Amino acid sequence: MTTKIHNYLILAVLLPWLGACSTGQMVARTSTSIMDSNVEAMNRETDPVLAEASMPANLKLIEGLIQEDPNNSELLTYAAQGFYGYAFGFVELGDRQRADALYGRGADYGKRALQSFGLDIELDTASIEEIDAAVGKLRKRAVPALFWTASNWAKQIDLRRTDPTSIAQLPSTERLMHRVLELQADFYYGGAYVYYGVYYGSRAPMLGGDFSKSEQYFADANAVTDGKLLMVDVLQAEYLERQRLDQQQFHRLLTRVVDEPVGSFPEMALANQVARARAKYLLDKEADWF
């Protein structure tokens, strides 16, 4: 009799949980460790053609899992990261309009991830003061969502430089990234430093740019990886050196990237391959820009 009572008590505890969590949700919630391994494997890929071909299927898989578990912060963050990586690495240089849409999609997933962490404002319409107050409540576990949301959102704005409405939202992305600096400055190999290098380097001083700050942030980013993450130099050339018309430094940085041996930074091999491709693209534009 005691055993039967014990079993009934167990069922009483488990049944509500089983009823509230579908099989699809259970699969989604146990898939994040696999996603970790998938991201690591993708980062180590040295063949960019193979990576480009496989990423759309991975993105649709993540979106399918999100449909089963719409408020899963980890899956939402993976989607934001994935759409950024695909758009920046393989779409933007050839199709800016499509890249714009992909960055927007990534930003939307990132904003949903932040909501799952308790962000209770609409980022698109909130004031800077409201954003500061809201993100100030977020803690370190929200850093990936903050970073990838700001990255997607800022990149979409970068592609809409002639749209005053979009440009007006750039300070909002900065407040998200500022919180990343406060909580974990070296996240994603110093990615927040790279953001600020671009943020201050891509604009003339009369429009809020600051070349000295930009140079220092790029130096801070390089210090995180001892200069092994080649995209830092690519973005410094593209945004800072081009803006301040330093052709010699522009050419030096990009040539170093192109000449760096493949496999010199195995854990970010794909990012470095993307950096090499972007460096070659920018070098082809050098005569037009200087």
Q: Helices 247-259 and 269-289 sit at what angle, rounded to 10 degrees? A: 150
Q: Quick one: CA torsion of 172, 178, 184, 187, rounded to 10 degrees?
A: 60
Residue 235: which residues within 8 A CB-CB, separation 6 or more?
194, 197, 198, 218
* Nearest C-alpha neighbor of 176 from the set 196, 159, 198: 196
Neighbours of 244 (CB within 10 A): 16
Whole-angstrom Cα distance, residue 115 to residue 149? 11
Please report the pLDDT score of residue 3 as a whole number: 47
Give the Å distances, CA to CA, from 283 to 93, 116, 174. Answer: 13, 42, 29
pLDDT in tens, the chain (290 residues): 444 444 434 333 333 443 455 665 665 565 666 777 888 999 999 999 999 999 999 999 999 999 999 999 999 999 999 999 999 999 999 999 999 999 999 999 999 999 999 999 999 999 999 999 999 999 999 999 999 999 999 999 999 999 999 999 999 999 999 999 999 999 999 999 999 999 999 999 999 999 999 999 999 999 999 999 999 999 999 999 999 999 999 999 999 999 999 989 999 999 999 999 999 999 999 999 99
Whole-angstrom Cα distance, residue 230 to residue 105? 26
* Nearest C-alpha neighbor of 69 from the set 20, 13, 123, 122: 20
pTM score, two decimals? 0.90
Please report the pLDDT score of residue 12 as a whole number: 38
HSE of 191 in the Cβ direction (CA atoms, 13 Å)?
21
What backbone torsions phi and psi does residue 219 show, to the nearest 5 degrees?
Answer: -65, -40
